[in-house]
Amino acid sequence: MADFKPLIIGFLCNWCAYAGADLAGTSRIQYPPNIRIIRVMCSGRVDPAFILEAFAKGADGVLVAGCHPPSDCHYLTGNFKAQKRLLLLRKVLSNLGLEPERLRLEWISASEGEKFATVVENMVSTLEKLGPNPLKNGVNANG
C-alpha cells in the first residue's frame, strides 16, 4: 500500500473554486498532483450521478468546491443546493460500502489559492489512510 496514490476528481465552480485553483497554480503554490479538475459553472449543477460515476470508475475521492455561502454564489443558491445534495449522497455512499469521508464539499473563493492547496493536501492524506476505493474493480468491500 506504500505506493498507493489516491485519485481525486474535483468538480470546481467556475467563478470561485476554479479561480482559486488557478491562483494556486499561477502563484506556484505546491500541492499534490492527485486531483483531476472538472470545471462546472456552479457547484449546484453537480449531479449526484456524476459523483457516483466517478467512484464507480475508480476515483478514490471526490471534491466538490464552490462559492462561500450565504451570498457569494453567482447563481444565488447553487451552493446551498450542492450542500443539500451532498448531505444526502454521503448516506448513499455508506450504503454502497464507501466511507463518507471520500466525498468532500468545500467553499473556496477566487482569492484562496492557499486554501485550495491545503484542501487537496488534507484530502490526499485522508484518502491515504482510508486506502483504495473498494468499488474500484466493481467489487464491494462488504461482499
Question: What confidence tens digit (pLDDT) does each residue in 134-143 have?
Answer: 988 654 444 3
Contact status, residue 11 vs residue 63, Cβ threshold 8 Å: yes
Cα 7 from Cα 58, distance rounded (Å): 8
Question: What confidence tens digit (pLDDT) does each residue in 38-75 have?
Answer: 999 999 999 999 999 999 999 999 999 999 998 888 88
- pTM exceeds cut of 0.85: yes
Reference 44, options 70, 21, 22, 12; nearest CA is 12
Question: What confidence tens digit (pLDDT) does each residue in 94-108 have?
Answer: 999 999 999 999 999
Contact status, residue 105 vs residue 64, Cβ threshold 8 Å: yes
DSSP-derived letter for residue 100 is G
At 76 the pLDDT is: 86
Q: Which domains does the chain have, with CATH numbers?
A: 8-130 (3.40.50)
